[in-house]
Structure formats: C-alpha cells, structure tokens
Chains A and B, each alone.
Chain A
Amino acid sequence: MKSKRVLIINRGEIAIRVAKALNELGHVSVGVWTDNETEPPHLEFCQEWVHLKGNNNKDTYLNIPQIMDIISEYKIDGVHPGYGFLSENREFSEALAKKGITFIGPNPDAVYKMGAKDISKQIAKEAGVPVVPGSTGEVSTVEEAMKIASEIGYPVLLKAVAGGGGKGMRPCMDEKEVQANFEAVKREARSSFGYEGLLVEKYILNPHHIEVQILADKKGNVFHVFERECSVQRRHQKIIEEAPSPFIGTDEKLRKEVCETAVKCAKAVNYDSAGTVEFIMGEDKKFYFLEMNTRIQVEHPITEEITGVDLVANMIKVAFGEPLDFKSQDDIKIQGHAIELRICAEDPKTMLPAPGKIVGFETTFPTGIRFDHCIYPNFTITPDFDPMIGKLIAKGFNREVALRKVRSALDGLIIDGIKTNIALHKVILREENFEKGKYSTNYIGTIKPQDKVAEKESMESFMIKVAGIEMNSEVRP
C-alpha cells in the first residue's frame, strides 16, 4: 500500500494516539500547531508540522476553509479528526468527499443519520432495537400523562421538551405523583426554558451506561469489539470506564444480545468505520438505544487492551480501503479486564475545571499500565480546551488485578501546579461500591466520593514539595 499523507486535525493525547498509528502503518503524520498553543506536545509524534493560524478554536480546529487550504497546499490524502472538533461534522466530511480527500471516519450519510436524535431513534426503532418507551409527542393534560404512564408502566419521568442538564424533570413512582408533579414541572419548564411542553418517558432506575465498540469496513462487514461500562460520570461526562462491564458480568447471553443489537444499529446506517453504540440499561437488565457516536471515543483504549484490536490503526486502514486486521467476529475475544481513569485539570471536590501550568510531573508505574497523555513540566493548560489531560489505563488478568494495578499506578502519578482529579480517583478506587463493581450512573450523585477527598494533604506532602523546589537546578546549580 502506497504511503498516504494524513492531516491530524486535533491536539492533545488523541493527536498523539493517531500519529503513533499513522507512523506505524507507514503513512506520513502531519500535525498542526496554533497561535494559542505554539509548543503542543503532540508534535513530538508527528513527522510534519503545519501552522493552523488563529488563537481560538473557531478560527483553527473548527475552521473548515482554512483546513481545506492546508489540505491542498500540503497535498494531503486523508484527514483524521480525532474526537470532538470536526469529528462528527457532516459539512466537513462532505467538503472532503467533494475534493476526493479521505475522511478517516464514517460516510457523511451515517454521520447525519446518527447525529440527529429523532432520526437516529427512528432508525433504531425500525431496525427492531428498543428505545426508551414514552410519549411520541408533547403531552398537554395530566389525564393524558397518566394514561401514557399506565401504558408504559411506572416509574415514569416527566420531562420538559426543552430540558437539559437535569433541570425540568421529575421521576414519578405512581399515579398520585404524576398528579402532584405535572403542573410543577410545567412551571419549571416555563421558567427555566421559556417553553412548557412536557414528555412522559419510562424512568430507568439506577441506570448503567453500556456502550458497544463497532468496527466496520467499506465492504459492508460490521463487527463488534465488545462492550464498555461508563457509569461513573459527572455533569453527564464519563470519568472512569471499564471493559468488560461489571454489571453484565458473566451473563454471556446478555453480552451477546447487547453486542449484536449494536451491530444491527450500525448496519442500519451502512456504518463503515470505528464507532460506538450507546445504551442505557436498567437494574432489570433491559436496555435501550441512546445514540451512536460516529467517531473514535476517548475511552477506546480499554477495548484495545482487552481484545488486542488496534482500533485507531484499523480505522485508518479501512478508510483507505485496506482490510481489517481480522476476518471474522470469532477472531475477537475478551482476555482480562481493563480500567481507564480520565485525568482532568479540575478540582477533585467540586469537579470544576481548573487550568494552569504544570510545574512538576513524574511517573512510577507497575506493569500493565498504559498512560495516554499530553503532560510535561511547564505545559500550560489553557481555558480554551477540554480539561482532560491524560488517560490512565490498567489491564489485568481480571477486574481485581486491574484495580490493584491502577491503584498502584495512581500512587505513582505526580502532577503539581494544577488541580487534578487524582485525589478523587484515589477515593473512588477504595470505595466499597466501586470495588465490588456495584455502581450506576447515580454513583457520583449519591455516594459522593468527592466529599471524602481531603481539602489538602499532610504537612509532610508540603515538605516534599519544598524538597522538589530545592532540587531544582535554578536553586542548586
């Protein structure tokens, strides 16, 4: 296969991950730098460096005309978008297609169909995939709400059409609660969103976020690479992911059903790249389609660790019409367990972002650890980007071993100068429910491990900091 010139239109750890895969496959990795990030660490792994002019994302990573100009000037054959930015932008993938440039991702039609919530749900339904039961449109009277609720069964959720971020929704356990809450949710919807339309939906108690990795080629072959569980979340964003799911556990029948359902979803939109089908699963193990992410995801490494399948390399190969590394579904097997911790520049108690400059960084890890990151001493984390700065991934023979390894790795991870959620991860990894693998998406909200993080560390830890400064060559030449 002829070497291709591939532009990575992303930054941070994912740009490094993609560059590594491109280099390994014998392609030319072309990385970018911008005016608000002139020394990005990802360029270490890129063979060619290109200036993307501008000092905010709108002018740089989201600027399709400038990116198209770079593509012509540097004779680029393909583009990898990473995650975020233009990874799920139909306009961008169509602009590339028009110029005959390979977009390393799914076809624009699949991006469009899975990108629109109502369309994707309709497609899932038509493919025979369960979606969360509820009213098909707005519900205007309390009688109508009660009628629908009794049809789909209690508990139900009264939810503002315009709602989001946990506002304008209330769970109702029975008919009485629907009667009591209907007007209140309406009022809340009107005051918070200026629109009082309500929906009735089945309320999933203690739900689990289960997602299935898909890998498909351009010839219509669609495979699953098993599931991940991402139920530890804050602000609806994941902070810890595991594969395989501890909730599905040894229920191989359920695992097969979830994974095959995901393949059905992907096939329904002629999916032809790496992607993820997300489900919500209740305590009763019934699961419903949420959405499909048509990109490589942050948490892809845990799937790579338990299956040995290089998702990023395969994604690149299929985009250029090459075959996948495997031939059949049976070639892919789970071996062991993997856990990923997202290391974020944020307060470990409030979980709010906290940019700043990293002034100290050291690692001492056990075997079985993979650390995908973009951290180095003197690296400034600016407010322009997402607070995630690295992903600590542990692979073990089983969940217990993976936990042991990731705890040890966390003790050996020192980052100073910025607040990080390392202290929060330390609490979670020793918390009873998490240790047992018994947690749902309500974990952070109900168990509140953040409250057990100490405001600050011991006096000895400050002595160690001073020792770290005293050993600086500026102090001790």
Chain B
Amino acid sequence: MRYYFINQEMKEFSLDVESKKGCLEFTVEGKSTPVYIKTLAGKNYFSFDQIKWQKLATLGVNETLVSNSEVYKVFRGFKPSGLNKGGAGALITQMPGKVVKLMKSVGDKVTKGETVLILEAMKMENEIKSGADGEIKSINVKEGQALDSGFLMVEIEEA
C-alpha cells in the first residue's frame, strides 16, 4: 500500500507499507524498516525493536496530518488528480477562516506580495498575498464567507 503525503506547497513524498503478521513493513528509498504493532487492553502500541513499546494514536483515514510546522494531506493508496494545479497563482486557504475583506476584483492587475484579501481566523486577521505578478482570473469567495482548509479562494493568471 502506498501512502502519499502532500504539504502546503504541494510538495509530496510517499511511503510504501506492507502489512504482515504483527508488523508493518515500510520501504523508503529502497530501505525496509519494520514497525511492530501490539494491541493491549483496547489500545495499540508500536515498536521498532520489539523491546521499547509506545502508545499509538489511531488516526483518521485520508485526513490532514501535521508534523511540527508542516501540514500534510495524506492519501492511502491513491493520489487525487488536480491537486498539483495552481502553483503560485492559486490562493488556497491553509486554515479554516472567514473572509473579512476583498481588496481586488476580477481583472485587476496584482504584483507578487500584494494583499488580495483578508482572512480572519481565531481573532486574528491574516493578509492573503499574491504569490505571483499577474491578473486576477477568478474570485471564488464573498466577503463574510466561512471557508474550510484547502479552499481555492482566488486564481491569478501569471504574467
């Protein structure tokens, strides 16, 4: 089974895992690493050496996972098509929020780093800036609209 991890910048890596009895065998860059699993009193535990065991948090399938500052969309066994579109001209929400103010309209010219809209999350206002020089192609949000993470708010046609 192949797992795809895709981060905020649409950079991805994958992990191959094969399920064996009492063990998950990972293959990363040709090197194989077994992770042993035991279930005890309804909780799961993992070990790399079958000596030291630690509690394993059961996680959701095809969800967002986090490692310190990095946020990953995780896909089990498949990679959705179309996720790689966008690039610097696509403004996608990195966190759920509410659109406070739209600073631009469709057809407006923008420069890289220019504020396109203001998104409010957790009592803080965040300026969402253009990642490229270009022209606003589409705006898919309205002022006051509440958005989930991963929403394509604005598309900018790169000049």
Contacts and interface: CB of A to CB of B under 8 A. Distances in A.
B19 interface: yes
Contacts of A170: none
B99 to A, nearest CB: 11
B26 to A, nearest CB: 5
A472 B96 contact: no
A462 B5 contact: yes
B46 to A, nearest CB: 5
Interface stretch (A66-74, A125-133, A201-209, A378-386): A378-386
Given A349-B69, A462-B67, A360 B57 contact: yes
Contact-residue bracket for chain A: 35 or more
B96 A382 contact: yes
Contact of A464 (B35, B64, B69, B70): B35
Q: Which of A384, A412, A463 has the most chain B CB atoms closer than 10 A to its own CB?
A: A463
Contact of B55 (A382, A412, A461): A412
Contacts of A350: 69
Interface in B24-80: 24, 26, 28, 33, 35, 37, 39, 43-44, 46, 48, 54-61, 63-71, 74, 76
Contact of A475 (B48, B61, B96): B61
B19 A465 contact: no
Main SS of the interface on chain B? strand
Interface stretch (B107-115, B120-128, B134-142): B120-128
A362 B37 CA distance: 16
If over half of A's interface residues share one DSSP class (helix, strand or loop), that class is named, otherwise mixed; here it is loop
Contacts of B68: 348-349, 419, 423, 453-457
B65 A416 contact: yes
A353 B121 contact: yes
A360 B74 CA distance: 14
B67 to A, nearest CB: 4
A323 interface: no
A359 B35 contact: no
Given A469-B74, A471-B44, A386 B59 contact: no
B58 A414 contact: no
B64 A356 contact: yes
A419 B15 contact: no
Interface in A359-408: 359-362, 364, 377-378, 382-387
Interface in B1-20: 1, 3, 5, 15, 17, 19
B149 interface: yes
A243 B43 CA distance: 35
Interface string A444-477: 0000000001111101111111111111101100
A359 B67 contact: no
Contacts of B122: 345, 353, 355, 383-387
Of B122, B123, B149, chain A has the most CB atoms within 10 Å of the CB of B122
A161 interface: no
B97 interface: yes
B67 A414 contact: no
A58 B95 CA distance: 22
A354 B64 CA distance: 12
A417 interface: yes
Contacts of A348: 68-69
Contacts of A453: 68-69
Given A353-B122, A454-B68, A468 B15 contact: no
Q: Which 4 A-B pairs have the closest CB atoms?
A: A353-B122, A360-B57, A468-B59, A359-B60
15 contacts: A355-B97, A356-B71, A360-B59, A360-B60, A361-B57, A362-B55, A382-B96, A383-B95, A457-B67, A460-B48, A462-B5, A466-B15, A468-B59, A470-B1, A471-B44
Given A355-B95, A417-B64, A463-B17, 19 more contacts: A353-B122, A353-B124, A354-B94, A355-B121, A356-B149, A357-B64, A359-B59, A377-B60, A382-B96, A419-B68, A420-B66, A455-B69, A463-B26, A466-B3, A466-B15, A466-B17, A468-B44, A470-B1, A470-B17
